[in-house]
Amino acid sequence: MLRAIIVVVSLIFVSVSAYEHIVDQCDWSGSGENESGGVRAVYLRCTRGTVLWSYPRGAMRMVLSFPTSSMQRCPLDLTKLGLRTCVKISGPVQVFLETNHMLRPIYSPSDGKHENSHRCFRWQKRVALFMEAEDDYSFKNNKVKLQYEIESASSKGCVLHVSDEEEECRPCSMEELANAYCQSDLVARGTITAVEEQIYLDTAELVLNVNKILRHVQETENNENTNITASKKNIRVRVPLMCKARHGPGEFIIMAKRRLGDLVLICAPTLETWKETIQEIDNAPCVLTS
């Protein structure tokens, strides 16, 4: 079956290369109930979105691109810097990442990973995912849901820094702290009361007792996981499990962004380090407070 898929994908590459006009569309929904199979092509150009595929049959080739509007606002060439794409998938499909005309599996209902896991990978220009519906018709009433987010791999510029795996756990520099503060979805001051390992998600969660919210960008969609109010005393922020995060005494400034509905840690300086940064940085993108 996989060999047949590879042949199909090779043929699709030819037709997709001639596709020039991709609309700035974020979401897609459709049904395969009345389809006999084949390969459906879906093109999305957005920083985040959701794909809903009910009664999945056959296969789907989905091409994700960074939106033209975001590229125009950014002075850097994002296609040269590279893009990081993260997806959250559930449902009766197998999902493959196309890389050098080969298919690398990134999701299967039986792969042992939790459906809330973030599956991330780097790519240049466009990301192409190939989804094959399961042949088990006990799934026929189920839906496939794929959420995605695309962000720049740059540590500077118009978007937040997302480091390589070997740098995920290193402290942020003063410049990165200033940029992260101004671009984070949430900046909160408080004490870390616990670090809870979520092995099934390959992540750990910092439990922060909030003393003060310094910055909060409201979510455009209702999401209970990241609904932060001024009266909320505890928040949870994800950090890679490999960082082996530990909680210590004193106050911290937690800078986090939303990714696929979850808060993900960007920087976590101590209050003392942050106050030093405020004094040292004289060209921050916004007003820094503690």
**Structural domains in the chain plus CATH codes:** 25-152 (2.60.120.380), 171-217+231-280 (2.40.50.120)
pLDDT of 6 reads 44
Q: Which amino acid, residue 190? A: G
Helix, strand, or coil (residue 24): coil
Q: 72 or 44, which is more confident?
A: 44
Q: Which residues contact 53 (CB under 8 A, 6 or more apart)?
A: 29, 30, 31, 32, 60, 91, 93, 131, 143, 144, 146
Task: Decide: helix, strand or coil at residue 103.
Answer: strand
Rounded to the nearest angstrom, the gap between the alpha carbon of residue 136 and the centroid of all alpha carbons in its chain is 29
pLDDT 10s digits, 261-280: 899 999 999 999 999 999 99
Single-letter code of the amino acid located at 261:
G
The answer, yes or no, to whether residue 15 has pLDDT greater than 50, is: no
In angstroms, rounded to a whole number, what is the distance separating the alpha carbons of residues 236 and 234? 7
Convert the pLDDT of each residue in 121-176 to its tens digit. 887 778 899 999 987 655 555 889 999 998 876 443 444 444 455 567 788 999 99
User: How high is the pLDDT of residue 221?
Assistant: 53
Note the pTM of the prediction, 2 decimals. Answer: 0.74
Please check the confidence at residue 206 and state whether its pLDDT lies above 70: yes
